[in-house]
Amino acid sequence: MRHPLTVSVLLSAVVAVGLATTSTGLLRSSSAPDDRCAAPPTFQACNVCHSGAELNSTNGLLSIFGVPAVYTPGQTYTLQVELGEGSASRWGFEITALDGALDGAGSFTATDGEVQVSATGSVQYAKHTSLGTSIGTMGIKTWQFDWTAPAAGTGVVRFYAAGNGANANSSPTGDMIYTAAIASAENASEDATVTLQPESTLVTPGSSWRVDAFVRDHSGSANQVLLVSRVKLPSGGFFPTNGWLFPPATINLVGGGEARRILNHTIPPTAPSFTATYQGIVGRAPNKLVDINEFQFTIQ
């Protein structure tokens, strides 16, 4: 039986991210709520409270610097989140680090008054403070903080971030929201990883739906992999039955480098309601699996 999900894919290498004002009218200057950094399983971002444009829809830029391609357990690294948004005059961000079980991986430490750390259960979040919203700063904003890598045996750690390039109009409107992700491996034998970040896990028939795939090298050398995707159906089968939803795309990486691919999906108006699993896979021909990342989504 043919599955009604049809897909069109747009490849892009542009990394976009930004932040905004809050639902109370003041860009959550004291802190953003936890779990607003586009991380699994919810993948909720700042646009839960802020509005102005679709996620990642303008020319902003969110960059995460300092995340090692291969981390040393227990070592502390200085990270930076840099957000560029030409229309913004107030700023915010949130980032988390998760292991394969979606538990918190390592720990964040604020190193100045512009960043604070909060936690929900085992998961920590580094985010802006009131001072860190830097009202009146135009064009670009950078935050710096430390991350201490987790204990040996944790495996791949994935970082998820969201940003808000706000217009400082004391309302949650007109704000530009962006997301990004990056992975760090425990050792170079991981070769390469793929990290998925959908704009939402809830999609509507007749709508378009975006999934971002971040592919990173951990071998330390030039690395070529193939990126594909597919949907695992509730029945346990796959769509498409043969081949791939996103056909093989060659990704060329420099040592420790990362590439972003944007997959734009079209959901037909006749699509039935169901919950399924989206899988992104990197590998090499003819059948070598390098890494797989997945999440659940619902059409309703």
- How confident is residue 8, by pLDDT bands cut at 50, 70 and 90? very low
Q: Which two tokens stand for residue 169?
A: 């109009």
* Across 7-16, 107-116, 162-171, least confident range: 7-16
Instruction: Give the Cα separation of 172 and 158 in Å (integer).
Output: 29
Flag whether 211 is in a domain.
yes
User: How does strand 202-203 pair with strand 288-299?
Assistant: parallel
What pLDDT, in 10s, does the model give residues 221-260? 999 999 999 999 999 999 999 999 999 999 999 999 999 9
Distance CA 96, CA 105 (A): 9
For residue 43, being part of any structural domain is answered with yes
The whole-number pLDDT of residue 170 equals: 61
pTM: 0.87
Query: How would residue 58 be classed by pLDDT, with cut points 50, 70 and 90?
Result: confident
Gap between the Cα atoms of 258 and 260, Å rounded: 7
The predicted structure's pLDDT at residue 59: 83
Residue 74: partners with Cβ closer than 8 Å, 6 or more residues away: 148, 149, 150, 151
In a domain, 65, yes or no: yes
Q: Is the pLDDT of residue 35 over 50?
A: yes
Is 1 inside a domain boundary? no
For residue 190, is it within any domain? Answer: yes
Q: Which amino acid is residue 119, in one-letter code?
A: A
Average pLDDT on 45-65 reads 74
In terms of average pLDDT, the best of 141-150, 160-169, 268-277 is: 141-150
Establish if 204 belongs to a structural domain: yes
Domain holding 40, by residue range, is 6-299
Q: What total number of domains does the chain contain?
A: 1
**Residue at 231 is within a domain:** yes
Of 12, 15, 7, the closest CA to residue 247 belongs to 7
pLDDT mean over 135-153: 96
At 169 the pLDDT is 67
Q: Look at residue 165 in the predicted model and tell me its pLDDT.
A: 86
Nearest CA to 84 out of 181, 167, 146, 164 is that of 164
287-298 pLDDT, tens digit per residue, is 999 999 999 999
How much is the pLDDT for 48? 55
Mean pLDDT, all residues of the chain: 87
* CATH classification of the domain holding 207: 2.60.40.3880
Residue 261's pLDDT is 95
Q: What is the pLDDT of residue 46?
A: 64
